[in-house]
Chains A and B, each alone.
Chain A
Amino acid sequence: MGQGNYSQAAHAALVADRASASRTEVFTQRGCHPLMNPKGLKVRESRDSDDHPNSLGIVFALDVTGSMGDIPQSLATRELPTFMALLNAVGVADPQLLFMAIGDATSDQAPLQVGQFESTAELMDQWLTWSYLEGGGGGSGEESYELAFYMVAQHTDMDCWVKRRKKGYLFITGDELPYPAVSRHQIGSLVGDTLDADVPIAEAIAAAAETYHVFFLIPDLGRRGRCEKRWRDLLGDHVICMEEPGDACAVAAAIVGLTEHAIADIDALVATLDANTIAPQRVSAIVRALRPYADLLDPNAATRMHVPAAGTPAAPSAWWKRMFA
């Protein structure tokens, strides 16, 4: 009977790795990865293939400044498999995921990093962990989120849209305001495109929304105050206020499922999350975050409102009304 020498050594090595693993070890990039540099980028394609005949393009534009870097880290270390499993569970067969990293173009070294659309978690993970988490961010209360709208509108091409007229998804995570316009100077220096003028943020959003369902995810309730109103003006119910950043994947997967009508309603969503071993308290938080958007999609939502909407039939009178009538 053996002593398990080699497995002890293997175990010890992994545990030792863990002791020193930190954000800087998962994300080893010390500047923009050459393959994620948007300079000269023509188009990122999401294409059908034999293996993935029904592709659906999904873009995660992650704010990587300051504490927002927690989201890429939790994606890389924990949530990516959950995201894929959930998409699968809600019947989205062939998701193709592109990661973008967003910083502040007025102060950061690498304010825009763009991966490729990928179908396997391995390759998704590769782009994600190639992202350079700058960790800085400007002090102006703004980040260059508008670049994400510009990039998907101008530099992506998806079979789901071209062949099937199905929009892709753009999820931006962030806790700050966008700049009011896409700066033509920044686009010139970062991407190399020549614009005649700055593009107002609303126009950039409208252009992206032609081919994408666009969402802005705020990581926790504490950071709503900084930016929610402005984003509501721009995106309405497509602003999702989460209760903790770790829910980003489950929330995004749920949005895809609900929007695609792959999940019937919130009740079905709860069942799906439960079945995928999401902890009950997280399920509740995810439902609270998604309720307004889910109600938007649900024709029967009005009947569940506390305040009856105009035109809905009056509820049958309660027993006490009859007693006192």
Chain B
Amino acid sequence: MSSTRLVSLLGLGFGDCGKGLFTDYLCRHWGAHTVVRFNGGAQAGHNVVLPDGRHHTFAQFGAGSFVPGVVTLLAYPVIVHPTALLVEDAWLRRAGVDDALARILIDGRCRVTTPFHQAAGRMRELQRGMAAHGSCGVGVGETAGHGIDHPEQILRYADLVRPAVALAKLELMRRTLRAGFGQACAEPANQTAYDAELAVLDDTSMATRWLARTAELIRQAPPASHAQVAQRLHLPGCVLFEGAQGVLLDEWRGFHPHTTWSSIHPGSVQAVATDAGQHARIEHLGILRSYMTRHGNGPLPTCDALLEHLPEPHNASGGWQGRFRRGHPDALLLRYALQVAGPLDGLLVSHLDVFGRERALRWCTGYEADATADDVCARDPDSGRICAILPGAPHDLAHQERLGHLLARATPHYAGEPIADAASFVAQLEALSGLPVLLGSHGPTHEAVRKLRLLP
């Protein structure tokens, strides 16, 4: 019997569901000593607000970093963005956390994203014009893709301590990526932005300068060995696995191509624990927001412009990713998320205070749509409406793309009554999911989290 308690926090939506808040809360409540990032990379953005007003959007540091002593572990297969990590550290210092880099452990096997990947990823997105995927513009997807096409070129965090190796790989990467782009952007309106990124790929001094920056990070956070990682995951006490993104953006289960290169699944948590020889049971908790949100492009069937007055202090529209959208709670997407996530132990729900302000939120219980996608969904025999969307076989992106098309043109059908209050929402959620709702948040800080059931 291990004395280490392992708990994972998995988003069940398109992100922005409160992972930062609940990670911060559980670090305090359970005294977690380690927050493990096990998927994604620098594109995460988990907001934590403290009762004294301090705020930080956690991208690579674990959202427990405000709690003294909590260590962040960037586990393999996280994609590390070294220079962004330095910038984030500087921001954390402004928020009063001055030892974040001393409390981070980065597995030497982690893949590293480079300025070249960031530029190449942006250029691909710029070329798509109106058909943009909603990329974060950070280079995570490009890095993952590059690693698949050219495994020998991929830079690992441990390579950064050997600048000769790193420089050689960087030059190879630069040339490989550069060879994939012409001078003209397929979308002429984006030519200026495209040129700016192309200049990065043409810049032969970028690698040296970037590497010089990363040296500063390596000095403070040298690559961790497999043994150090394993030791951390065996320390007595609580370890939280903080999932980035949400399962509806999962690389295989999201709606292709509007997904991110990140596996958001209990299986990926299990893989990290197993790799460290940690075989204790992992409790998996699903996190969702009381209503749907989405950043960037991709389907959001219940999107409703009337909800735009709902406050969103930390998710501004604009920037690389584009518009932030809000929608009504969607029972079909929730069931789909639960189905692909597999067995969970409970749910955590954020933004329950919305029901005090917004009287018009209703459950989406079905979609009206034509019959062209009937092989990827189920219809209610009485009403004829789509009542479920069906996951495909593993790794069937064609199926996922069809789902995306279906969702893009589906008209939501709403339950008759608006949701009365937080208590009835929670009751409906428990009935729908068959899972206990353990925690609910009614405001931005850990003090606004309420225990709805006796926590295990």
Q: Which A residues are within 8 Å of any B CB, using their own CB?
A: 1-11, 13-15, 17-18, 21, 26, 74, 76-78, 80-82, 84-85, 120-122, 125, 277
Contact = CB atoms under 8 A, between A and B. Distances in A.
Contact of A1 (B16, B42, B137, B210): B16
Contacts of A17: 209
Interface in B387-418: none
Given A7-B84, A7-B118, A122-B163, A1 B296 contact: yes
B86 A1 contact: no
A170 to B, nearest CB: 22
Contacts of B246: 1
Nearest to B61: A6
Nearest to B316: A3
Contacts of A26: 205, 208
A8 B208 CA distance: 19
Q: Which 3 A-B pairs have the closest CB atoms?
A: A2-B45, A1-B15, A121-B164
21 contacts: A1-B296, A2-B42, A2-B57, A2-B244, A3-B320, A4-B321, A5-B45, A5-B57, A6-B60, A6-B85, A7-B43, A7-B87, A11-B118, A14-B115, A18-B200, A81-B170, A82-B171, A122-B163, A125-B163, A125-B208, A277-B175
Contacts of A81: 164, 167-168, 170-171, 207
A11 B115 contact: yes
B199 interface: yes
B172 interface: yes
A49 to B, nearest CB: 16
A84 B170 CA distance: 13
Given A1-B45, A14-B209, A120-B162, 16 more contacts: A2-B42, A2-B59, A3-B295, A3-B319, A4-B319, A6-B59, A7-B137, A10-B86, A18-B200, A18-B205, A18-B206, A18-B209, A78-B171, A78-B205, A82-B168, A277-B176
A9 B87 contact: yes
Interface string B87-112: 11001000000000000000000000
Main secondary structure of the interface of A (DSSP, over half): helix
A9 B83 CA distance: 9
Nearest to B208: A77
Contacts of B207: 81
Given A1-B14, A1-B245, A15-B196, A6 B42 contact: yes
Contact of B203 (A10, A18, A82): A18
Interface in B167-210: 167-168, 170-172, 175-176, 196, 199-200, 203-210
B87 A10 contact: yes
Contacts of B37: none
Nearest to A120: B164
B209 A4 contact: no
A77 B202 CA distance: 12
Contact of B87 (A3, A13, A76, A122): A13
A4 B171 contact: no
A81 B81 CA distance: 22
Given A4-B138, A8-B320, A14 B57 contact: no
A18 B199 contact: yes
B81 A10 contact: yes
B43 to A, nearest CB: 5
Interface in B235-257: 244-246, 249
B89 to A, nearest CB: 9
Interface residues of B, number: 60
Contacts of B168: 81-82, 84-85
B136 interface: yes
A227 B136 CA distance: 55
B351 interface: no
Contact of B204 (A3, A9, A77): A77
- Residue among B203, B208, B210, B244 with the highest chain A CB neighbour number at 10 A: B208
Nearest to B215: A122
B213 A14 contact: yes
B253 to A, nearest CB: 15
B286 interface: no
Contacts of B294: 1
B205 A21 contact: yes
B249 A1 contact: yes
A63 B175 CA distance: 28
Nearest to B245: A1
Nearest to B164: A121
Given A1-B260, A3-B57, A8-B319, A14 B45 contact: no
B78 interface: no
Nearest to B135: A4
B59 to A, nearest CB: 5
B163 A2 contact: no
Contacts of B46: 2
A8 to B, nearest CB: 7
B43 A1 contact: yes
A3 B136 contact: yes
Contacts of B83: 7, 10-11, 13-14
Contacts of B85: 6
A153 to B, nearest CB: 29
Nearest to B113: A7
A121 B164 CA distance: 5
B44 interface: yes
Nearest to A76: B208
A7 B199 CA distance: 18
A26 B208 CA distance: 10
Given A3-B136, A4-B138, A10-B86, A120 B163 contact: yes
Contacts of B171: 78, 81-82
Contacts of A125: 163, 208
A8 B203 CA distance: 18
Interface string B138-174: 1100000000000000000000001110011011100
B87 A78 contact: no
B391 to A, nearest CB: 21
Interface string B10-25: 0000111000000000
A2 B196 contact: no
- Residue among A3, A15, A120 with the highest chain B CB neighbour number at 10 A: A3
B205 A2 contact: no
Contacts of B205: 18, 21, 26, 76-78
B22 to A, nearest CB: 16
Given A1-B249, A9-B87, A11-B118, A122 B164 contact: yes
B184 to A, nearest CB: 21
Nearest to A84: B164
B164 A7 contact: no
Interface in B278-315: 294-296, 315
Contacts of A121: 163-164, 167
A80 B60 CA distance: 32
Nearest to A277: B175
